[in-house]
Amino acid sequence: MALQRKKKVTRVTKVKKFQDKVAVITGGASGIGLALARRFARGGARLGLLDMDAEALQREAARLAGGGTEVVAAVCDVSARRDCQAGIDAVLGRFGRIDVLVNNAGITARDRFVDTRAEVFERVMAVNFFGSLYCTQAALASLRASRGLIVVVESLAGVSPLLGRSAYCASKHALHGLFTTLRAELRPDGVQVMIACPGFVQTNLQRRALGGDGRVTARPQSRVGRQTSAAAVADILYRAALRRRPMVVLTPVGKIAYWVSRLMPLTYERLMARQFAVELSREARRP
Ligand code: NAI
């Protein structure tokens, strides 16, 4: 049985369904976005990488191009609508089509709500929510023409509360509302939406987390379960994209958290509140 399943997976991954297709990945210069870029490149796709980190973007695009992948790299702050349009136009100018759009670029913020300035909410919403909205709007005509796929890198924070990260959680819930609606609205056009909820992944996200004052925070990261590698996440998401899955919740802890928060939301809130109280008291004892 296990052997049969393995054989099936191997067969699916060997079919290069994305050969010569064009995948645009925002936040493609680091972490999950970069791992996805490498995975799509191995699958034969042509790439459009959008990222605001010009140095990392040029370096990683050059590496991918050195491996034989056709890449358009566009320096772009996704919170700026004009940047998103220009980035998508650059990809269309070179390849003439977009088959997959991965809305992945994101930032996080860690602090109690009472200590978080409204500007932090505005910045996190601007990148995580509006960035995905602008890129989707810019790429939509092409995605409809190709009957393509939109992948949204959300988080469990998109479907359940995450204490101490209210801005991040709000931005991911906003994404969830937008893209579950689009999933239904765009289905008649043949455009599929796949929502991805990774668990904790080893990337640069937490190192760049904003504190409540808007500066990069030294506040320690809270997490449940072990961290996965970005490459492992990319592999799972790539295979899910081949199957055009509507929703992917990664890791066993993530799946349990997803179902508990869906079926018993108040119990879930109480569990999260208890864990957050432990974190706060641990933090208060730190010298
Ligand atoms: P990362 O920090 O390694 O990569 C994020 C990339 O987005 C970086 O290359 C960064 O330069 C880029 N970026 C940030 N702001 C941007 C902007 N305004 N315009 C353009 N590019 C921008 O982080 P990671 O973890 O790979 O994050 C990718 C996505 O995965 C995010 O949406 C995050 O919320 C989500 N995610 C991450 C998890 C984790 O544990 N690392 C868990 C669940 C979801």
Structural domains of the chain in order of their starting residue, each with its CATH number: 17-285 (3.40.50.720)
Which residue's C-alpha comes closest to atom 34 of ligand 1?
106
**228-267 pLDDT tens trace:** 999 999 999 999 999 999 999 999 999 999 999 999 999 9
From the CB of 208, is ligand 1 less than 6 Å away? Answer: yes
Q: Is the pLDDT of residue 4 over 70?
A: no
Tens digit of each residue's pLDDT (9 = 90 or more) over 202-238:
999 999 999 999 999 977 666 666 789 999 999 999 9
- Nearest 5°: the CA angle 43, 32, 40 is 10
Cα–ligand 1 centroid distance for 229 (angstroms): 14
pLDDT tens-digit readout, 76-124: 999 999 999 999 999 999 999 999 999 999 999 999 999 999 999 999 9
Q: Whose CA is nearest to atom 12 of ligand 1?
A: 27
Ligand 1 binding pocket includes 30 (Cβ within 6 Å): yes
| Spacing, Cα 31 to ligand 1 middle (Å) | 7
Residue 13 has pLDDT above 50, yes or no: no
* Residue, of 280 and 81, whose pLDDT is higher: 81
Give pLDDT, residue 1. 45
Q: How far is residue 185's CA from residue 177's CA, in Å, rounded to a whole number?
A: 12
SS3 per residue for the chain:
CHHHHHHHHHHHHHCCCCCCCEEEEECCCCHHHHHHHHHHHHCCCEEEEEECCHHHHHHHHHHHHHCCCCEEEEECCCCCHHHHHHHHHHHHHHHCCCCEEEECCCCCECECHHHCCHHHHHHHHHHHHHHHHHHHHHHHHHHHHHCCEEEEECCHHHCCCCCCEHHHHHHHHHHHHHHHHHHHHHHHHCCEEEEEECCCEECCCHHHCECCCCCECCCCCCCCCCCEEHHHHHHHHHHHHHCCCCEEECCHHHHHHHHHHHHCHHHHHHHHHHHHHHHHHHHHHCC
- Does 12 have pLDDT greater than 90? no
Mean pLDDT of 125-136: 98
Tens digits of per-residue pLDDT, 35-86? 999 999 999 999 999 999 999 999 999 999 999 999 999 999 999 999 999 9
β-pairing, 192-197 vs 149-153, is parallel
Task: Determine the pLDDT at residue 273.
Answer: 95
Closest residue (by CA) to atom 19 of ligand 1? Answer: 77
What pLDDT is stored for residue 224 in this prediction? Answer: 62
What pLDDT score does 287 carry?
66
